[in-house]
A and B are shown apart, each in its own frame.
Chain A
Amino acid sequence: MASAPLPLGPPPRCRILKMIVIGDSGVGKTCLTFRFCAGKFPNKTEATIGVDFREKTVEIDGEKIKIQLWDTAGQERFRKSMVQHYYRNVHAVVFVYDITNMATFQSLPAWIEECKQHSLGGEIPRILVGNKCDLKDATQVRTDLAQKFADTHSMPLFETSAKNPGDNDHVEAIFMTLAHKLKNHKPMMLSQPLLDENKVQLDPEPSPGVECYC
């Protein structure tokens, strides 16, 4: 069985890393994903309705990897029936809360539960991001509290700002950490179709991406 030859020859294979970004409305999911993909804080954001998609190709240890970020709507009514479809084949989850808004931190258990229902539990990498660190004076969620929560759920915690990230907590670094971790963690899906035999060789374990070949 051979795949049809592409007119320009097959483009180089590129692994895809799919991350979903979730958390309450207004915590800054759109700003964070925009910051990572476009390298700057957006001057105007709008409410996300449904799911937005952004991507960026990065190089890790000489290998090109495409990071896909699925930026979801925060309002509760969109969670249940709407966004579900996009939880499929996710390699990592990014939970976001707003350090200046306690309610967004208190919603985290509900978001974790939501993920579990889509069978995204402890077995895939998850990270916790406290956003809006530039507004230190308005802090409502203290670091030690957040750290304790992160430990209980065995997630690493990052505090950052999509607007003015500090030197150590660049938004970029956070997503890259996750990408590094994933690169060695699990087989990721490939953006280009492969021969079946190759697929078996490269992806010995059944990976969540397999059914997406087309």
Chain B
Amino acid sequence: GTLQDNSTLLQFKFFYILKLDYESKRKRKVAEIQHALNSSPVDVAALRRMAISEGGLLTDEIRSKVWPKLLNVNTDDLPPKPGPELRENNKDYQQVLLDVQRSLRRFPPRMPDAEREVLQEQLIDSILVVLKRNPQLHYYQGYHDIVVTFLLVVGERMATALVEKLSTHHLRDFMDPTMDNTKHILNYLMPIIESVNPELHDFMQRAEVGTIFALSWLITWFGHVLSDFRHVVRLYDFFLACHPLMPIYFAAVIVLYREHQVLESECDMASVHHLLSQIPQDLPYETLISRAGDLFVQFPPSELSKEAIQQENTAVSTFKDFELVSAQQRPDAVLRRRLREQPQRERRSNITAARTGTRRLMKLAVMGLTVALGAAAFAVANGALEWAAKFELQLFP
């Protein structure tokens, strides 16, 4: 009896300490976020680190304060609520309506119908406003899965403003007249997998599975496939703070995580496509997020872009590819140079880490990682001219 009691007590103490630890960490993080928000000017670099590091931005209340900062959106100047004329003669209305009507799963299961219906109307308006104000952007099925996430966290008018910014930056490639650039981004998936796990890569190539299983992951930032809203917003924290190609790294990390399942399935297109497109709902998100970050730093897009082009089996004009690649690689080229210039001592320890780590994936220190990723994201969000100087500043404050 006593022995068992003792061990129960020990266990209890253990969990109690864990919980205390968790609570105090969380409190500290909330305080740090508040501090960054109250600084003048707002400490965006710190907010990025918070959004990337364990737990992300913690609550929707914090998110609605921090997301606008991450996207550099002025919340005092929100677009007005549209009138009914928005929907008249609108080329996108029918498709948006059809998709929003079928988006019931995106709303909290216990939400009353009436409340959900109001939100669905707002969702339609938000989408149409952004499209109307930006005629260069084209609606795609799945865009509504992104917008609904913002709507549920920050409300209609702010959602419209945030999504507008996002659409002209992170989602820009998906909203071209054609999906050629989206396909190009999907072409990064296999080279990333190959860099870490050639055996898995070869298996998938032999199965000719293609990459469409990851299409909805990429263009909805996983909003279309994850049923727990908490996981969706946690990922959005991460993606908002990172380089626009991060979702494809995260997709690769999920595939790599399921290595054994994939290798055990039959080696044909249908089996592998089916397996991979059913995403498990109990993924260890925090671990996968930090792995995706590691992968990004270790195999930056610029290093993979050549292979990504070789994946292309249709003839997309080389010129266009060149343009796209050069636009995407700017921050990463610097990142890589920075890594190369690392002091010898640091590099050697990285190499040791790589040997002991999983396969060819090395693990970076969390701080280094978040600083590097934050910098890459910052660079992208602020346009080509400014980024270089800012990057240096952030890495060596």
The interface of chain B, by Cβ under 8 A from chain A, is 95, 98-99, 102-105, 138, 140-142, 144, 177-180, 182-183, 206-208, 210, 212-213, 215-216, 219-220, 224, 266-270, 273-274, 277, 314
A48 to B99, CA, bound (A): 9
Closest residue of chain B to A16 (Cβ to Cβ) is: B270
Q: Which 3 pairs between the two chains have the least Cβ-Cβ distance? A: A49-B216, A50-B215, A50-B212
Scan residues 22-53 of chain A and give those whose CB is less than 8 A from a CB of chain B: 25-26, 44-53
**Closest Cβ of chain A: how far from B264's Cβ, in Å?**
12
Contact B270 A49 (CB under 8 A): no
Please, how many angstroms separate the alpha-carbon atoms of A52 and B180 in the complex? 20
B207, B220, B270, B314: the one within 8 Å of A55 (CB)? B270
The smallest C-beta distance from A158 to any residue of chain B, in angstroms, reads: 23
Given contacts A49-B141, A53-B277, A212-B208, contact A80 B215 (CB under 8 A): no
Query: Is the C-beta of A83 less than 8 angstroms from some C-beta in chain B?
Result: yes
The segment from A70-78, A118-126, A132-140, A143-151 found at the interface with B is A70-78
**Contact call A68/B141, Cβ cutoff below 8 A:** no
CA of A46 to CA of B95, assembled, Å: 12
Contact of B98 among A25, A68, A77, A83 (CB under 8 A): A25
* Docked complex Cα distance between A18 and B268 (Å): 13
- List of B residues within 8 angstroms of A78 by Cβ: 140-141, 179
From B180, B206, B208, B224, contact of A49 by CB (8 A): B224
**Chain B CB within 8 A of A168 CB:** no
Is there contact, CB below 8 Å, between B98 and A26? yes
A-B contact pairs, 29 of them (CB 8 A): A16-B270, A26-B98, A44-B105, A45-B102, A46-B102, A47-B99, A47-B102, A49-B215, A49-B219, A53-B277, A68-B270, A73-B141, A75-B140, A77-B138, A77-B178, A77-B179, A78-B141, A80-B178, A81-B183, A81-B314, A82-B179, A83-B212, A84-B314, A85-B210, A88-B208, A191-B268, A212-B208, A214-B267, A214-B268
- Note all chain B residues with C-beta closer than 8 A to A44: 102, 104-105
Which residues of chain B are within 8 angstroms of A52 by Cβ–Cβ distance? Answer: 277
| In the complex, residue of chain A having the shortest beta-carbon distance to the beta carbon of B267 | A214
Majority SS of interface residues in chain A?
loop
Which residue of chain A lies nearest to B175 when distances are taken between CB atoms in the complex? Answer: A77
The answer to whether B103 touches A46 (Cβ under 8 A) is yes
For B95, list chain A residues within 8 Å (CB): 25, 75
Q: How far is the CA of A26 from the CA of B99 in the complex (A)?
A: 9
A53 to chain B minimum Cβ distance, whole angstroms, is: 5
Set of chain A residues within 8 Å of B182, measured between Cβ atoms: 81-82
Number of A-B contacts (CB under 8 A): 85
A51 to B104, CA, bound (A): 20
Of chain A, the residue at the smallest CB distance from B206 is A214
Chain A residues near B270 (CB, 8 Å)? Answer: 16, 18, 53, 55, 68
- Expressed in whole angstroms, the minimum distance between the Cβ of A6 and any Cβ of chain B is 12
Most buried by B among A49, A50, A51, A214: A50
Partner of B224 from the list A46, A82, A191 (CB cut-off 8 Å) is A46
Q: Report whether B212 and A47 are in contact in the complex, using a CB–CB cutoff of 8 Å.
A: no
The interface residues of chain A lying within 8 Å CB-to-CB of B268 are 191, 212, 214
Determine the distance from Cα of A85 to Cα of B273 in the docked complex, in whole angstroms.
12
Residues from chain A with Cβ under 8 Å of B216 in the complex: 49-50
Q: Which chain B residue lies CB-closest to A43?
A: B104
Check B140 against A77 for contact (C-beta < 8 Å): yes
Say yes or no: B105 contacts A47, CB within 8 Å: no
* A214 touching B207, Cβ below 8 Å: yes
Q: A197: shortest Cβ distance to chain B, in Å? A: 21
Residue from the list A25, A81, A212, A214 in contact with B141, Cβ < 8 A: A25
Instruction: Knowing A78-B141, A214-B268 are in contact, say whether A50-B213 is a contact too (CB < 8 A).
Output: yes
**In the complex with contacts A53-B273, A81-B180, A86-B102 CB distance below 8 A:** no
